[in-house]
Amino acid sequence: MSNVSAGTLRRRPAQRRSLERVERMLDECARLLDEVGYEALTTKEVARRAGVPIGTFYQFFPDKQGLVRELALRNLDAFLARLTARFGSAGITVWTEVIDLAVDEFVAMKRTTPGFAIVDFGEIFQTPGGPAIEGTNRLLDAALENNVIVADRLQALLVDLVGAPPGPGLHRALVVAVEAADSVLKLAFRTRPGGDPDLIAECKDLVRRYLTGHMPAR
């Protein structure tokens, strides 16, 4: 199977109408991923279902890889927005609660967000819970692995919310934690379609224990 290279949004929509079109294309991309998978996804069908000319599709996306990359970035933004909202409403200041909520939100998105079972934060899976397509671990950025980018974004949240000590030590620890959580959660969703609850609990425990030496003792 051929590698999937990172795409690039050709231009950012400036007008409301253009933004709505881009959002519709991303929405239909997500739904089609659930229905037919990545390999059978076509730009023509995305455009048709979004109600836009195929030429409009190519004004914004170079190809379907670029479309899926933008969907993954939207998923990551949505994940972080959901975390921030829940942190604020719960008044969370303890980093262990941040970890638990982060795992819970990821699991909830796997279960409910269209297309997320096939494309979460960059990596593309052949089937929900199945193996990833080779080469998609760098879909978001040609120079950085997807999980490094996720760790970058989580570090910013932890520094702001709980006063985690910024710096290379924390970043390295979060990259390790994200990699470990990613592996265990993949196992959880391979074991059961909705995610094995015991493995999800083990994931939280593993990450909390590992990060204890890198986070504030409160």
123-147 per-position pLDDT tens digit: 999 988 888 999 899 998 889 999 9
Bridge-partner residues for 119, per DSSP? 124
Q: Where are the alpha helices (H) located in the chain, listed in sequence order?
A: 16-36, 43-50, 54-60, 64-90, 95-112, 146-162, 168-191, 197-211
Query: How far apart are the C-alpha atoms of 77 and 118, rounded to whole Å?
Result: 17
Q: Are 67 and 119 in contact (CB under 8 A)?
A: no
Query: How far apart are the C-alpha atoms of 126 and 131, rounded to whole Å?
Result: 6
How many other C-beta atoms can be found within 10 angstroms of the C-beta atom of residue 109? Answer: 18
What three-state secondary structure class fits 55?
Answer: helix
Query: How far apart are the C-alpha atoms of 30 and 193, rounded to whole Å?
Result: 18
**Residue 3 is assigned to a structural domain of this protein:** no
Please tell me the least confidently modeled range out of 54-58, 141-145, 184-188. 141-145
**Residue 47 is assigned to a structural domain of this protein:** no
The predicted model gives 190-210 an average pLDDT of 96
pTM more than 0.85: yes
* 153-166 exposure pattern, b = at least 16 Cβ within 10 A, e = fewer: bbbebbeebbebee
**Residue 195 is assigned to a structural domain of this protein:** yes
Which tokens belong to 13? 């929509």
**Residue 138 is assigned to a structural domain of this protein:** yes
CATH of the domain at 120: 1.10.357.10
* Domain tally, the chain: 1
In this prediction, residue 116 has a pLDDT band, given cuts at 50, 70 and 90, of: very high
**Residue 18 is assigned to a structural domain of this protein:** no
Q: Which domain holds residue 203?
A: 71-214
